[in-house]
Amino acid sequence: MTDIAIDKWVHDEFNRAMRTKAHLLTTLVKEDVHNIEFDFAGEFMPEFEGEVDPEYYQLWLGKEVFERSDTLDIFATKSLPYKNATVGEELLIAAELPDGRDGKILYYRFFPQIDSDDRQEYNKLIASTGYQQKPMLLAYAMSAEKLHFLTWMIDISFLVSALLVAFIVRTIVKKTVKKGLTPLDEFTQSLLNISLADKSAAVNLVNKVEELIPIQNSINKFIDENRNLYLKEQRLTSDIAHELKTPIAELISLTEVSIKFPDDITIGQTYKTDILAISSRLQSIVANILLFHRYSHDRFEKNDVFDPVQVITRLINSSPRCLINKLSEIDPINSNLFAFESIFTNILKNAHHYSLEATDIIVYIKQTSRYLSISVSNTSASCLRDDDLNNMFDPLWQKDSARSSTENFGLGLSIVQTFVLALEGDISVSLREEVITFTVLFPIL
C-alpha cells in the first residue's frame, strides 16, 4: 500500500509539473487589436531548443499551427498530433515523442491573454465589429522515462527493503528465540540428568526465568514424590525379602538337621509341626502382600447394607478391654461388608497387640449427614514418636527394627489404608501423650 501511494504521489507530481509548465507557456501568448504574439525566449527555457533531454510544445490557432518549439525541427517528426479539446479542458495522454522516447502530451485549449493597456481598445473593436476572440490549443510534451525509472527504483527499493527486513526479522527472531529457549534447553538437560536414586537431585535453573520457576517447583515436587515412592518400593522389596528370608532359612535349617540326624526321635516328633507353622507363616505373608497389591488401585463394590455397630460388636467378641461409645444415633450404611470387617479386624488386632494390658480400648462411633466416623483409641505400649505416625501405613514397616516378631509382619495397617481408600474413605492417626487413635471416615451415600 505504501508503494502504491508513493507511485501515485510521484505520478501526480509529474503531472502537476507538466500542467505548471503548460500554463506558464500559455501566459506567453498575448493578443491585441492588431495580432497575436507568442513572447517566448529560448535562453530562459533551453529545454525547448537543445538536443539534451528535449521537451516540445506546439500551438494551434484553429487547426492551423501557430508556433512550435525548435526541438521539433531536430527530428523527422516535425509536429505533435492534434487533439480536439474544449476551452479550459486538459487532456493528458501517453505517447511516443518525436525522439522515440516514451512521454506524455498535455493538451490545453485557452483564450490568449490581453494586456490591461490594450483591453479598452480591444473591447471597442469587439463592440464596433462584432469580432469574436478565437481560442488556441497548446500541446506540451516531455519524456516520461525518468518517471518510469523513478517508479521502478521505488518498486525495487521496496522489494529489496521487504526482503532485507524479512531477512533481518528472521535473523533477529531466530537469535531471540534461540536465546529465549536456552533456559528451556538447560531445563530439559537438567531433567535428563535427574536420577531418583540420587536423594539430592533436583531441577535447578542456572538462568532464573520467571515463567519456568513454577514449572521447576512443580517438577521438583513431582520428583520428590516419585523419589519417596521409589525409596518406599525399595524398602518394601527389601522388607519382603527379609520377611521371606527368615522362614525360608528356618525351613532349610530344619531340613538339613533332619537329614543329618535321621534317627533323632526328638527332631522327628517336632519336624512336621515346625514345617507346618513356618509354611503357614509364609502363606500368611504372601496372602497379605497379594491382598495389599490387589486393592491398591481398585474400588470395592458397595452392595451390602449393615449396621456398623453390630459388626464392630461382633468383632470385639466380648473382649473385656473393648468398649463402644456411640456419640450419635447410628443408621445402617451401604458399603462392602468384607472390607469393613477387614479394616476393623486389623485395627482392633493392632490395638490389642500394642496396648498395655490393664488399659481399655475404646471405639467411638459418630454419624452425621455427610459421613460415618469410627475411632479406635488405646494406650500404646511402645514409645512412639510423631515421625512413627507417618510410617505406620507403609507396607512391612515395624517399630521394632530387629523384626523379632513371628506373628506380625507390618502389613495390617497397610491393608487397612488400602481398603479404606478403596471404599472412598479416609483414615488418619493421632498421638496424644500415650494414647494413639485411629480415625476412619466413610462417606454417607
Domain identity same for 8 and 98? yes
State residue 179's pLDDT score: 83
Kind plus residue range of the DSSP H or E element containing 304: strand 304-306
Confidence bin at 374 (pLDDT 50/70/90): very high
Supply the pTM of this predicted model: 0.45
Answer whether residue 418 is part of any domain. yes
Domain identity same for 326 and 430? yes
pLDDT of 338 higher than 60: yes
Mean pLDDT of 164-174: 93
Strand partners, 141: 56, 105
Residues 6 or more apart in contact with residue 327 via CB below 8 angstroms: 364, 365, 366
| 143, 178, 200 - which closes a domain | 143
Range of the domain at 259: 216-281
- HEC-encoded secondary structure of 86-136: CECCEEEEEEECCCCCEEEEEEEEECCECCHHHHHHHHHHHHHHCCCCCCE
Please write the tens of the pLDDT for every residue from 86-132: 998 999 999 999 988 999 999 999 998 887 777 777 777 777 776 77
The amino acid present at 52, given as its one-letter code, is V
Of 21-30, 203-212, 368-377, the least confident: 203-212
Q: Give the Cα separation of 113 and 129 in Å (integer).
A: 20
Domain identity same for 266 and 352? no
Residue identified by cell 531471540 is 176
* Overall number of domains in the chain: 3
Answer whether residue 121 is part of any domain. yes
Kind plus residue range of the DSSP H or E element containing 375: strand 371-379
Residues 6 or more apart in contact with residue 37 via CB below 8 angstroms: 29, 30, 31
Domain identity same for 69 and 14? yes
Answer whether residue 196 is part of any domain. no
Domain identity same for 9 and 128? yes
Residue 83 to residues 68, 73, 371, Cα–Cα distance (Å): 15, 20, 105
Highest mean pLDDT among 81-90, 122-131, 185-194, 395-404: 81-90
* 271 vs 94 pLDDT, higher one: 94
pLDDT of 404 higher than 80: no
Domain identity same for 136 and 109? yes
Chain mean pLDDT for the chain: 82
Answer whether residue 71 is part of any domain. yes
Mean pLDDT of 60-71: 90
Domain identity same for 239 and 325? no
State residue 296's pLDDT score: 63
Mean pLDDT of 178-206: 78
Confidence bin at 2 (pLDDT 50/70/90): confident
Answer whether residue 150 is part of any domain. no
Please write the tens of the pLDDT for every residue from 415-424: 888 888 888 8
| 143, 166, 196 - which closes a domain | 143
Of 183-197, 311-325, 345-359, the least confident: 183-197
Q: Looking only at Cα atoms, what is the longest distance across the chain?
A: 173
Of 162-166, 235-239, 439-443, the least confident: 235-239
Q: What percent of the chain has pLDDT over 90?
A: 24
State residue 198's pLDDT score: 74
Half-sphere exposure of 372 (CA within 13 A, CB side): 24
Answer whether residue 336 is part of any domain. yes
Grid coordinates given for 431: 498421638
Domain identity same for 272 and 312? no
Half-sphere exposure of 127 (CA within 13 A, CB side): 6
Residue identified by cell 512443580 is 218
Answer whether residue 175 is part of any domain. no
Domain identity same for 255 and 320? no
Mean pLDDT of 78-86: 91
Domain identity same for 100 and 138? yes
Among candidate residues 47, 50, 51, the one with its CA nearest the CA of residue 25: 47
Domain identity same for 44 and 70? yes
Strand partners, 61: 64, 136
* 54 vs 219 pLDDT, higher one: 54
* 103 vs 266 pLDDT, higher one: 103
Of 114-123, 233-242, 267-276, the least confident: 233-242
Please write the tens of the pLDDT for every residue from 7-39: 999 999 999 999 999 999 999 988 877 788 888
CATH number, residue 437: 3.30.565.10
| 143, 168, 190 - which closes a domain | 143
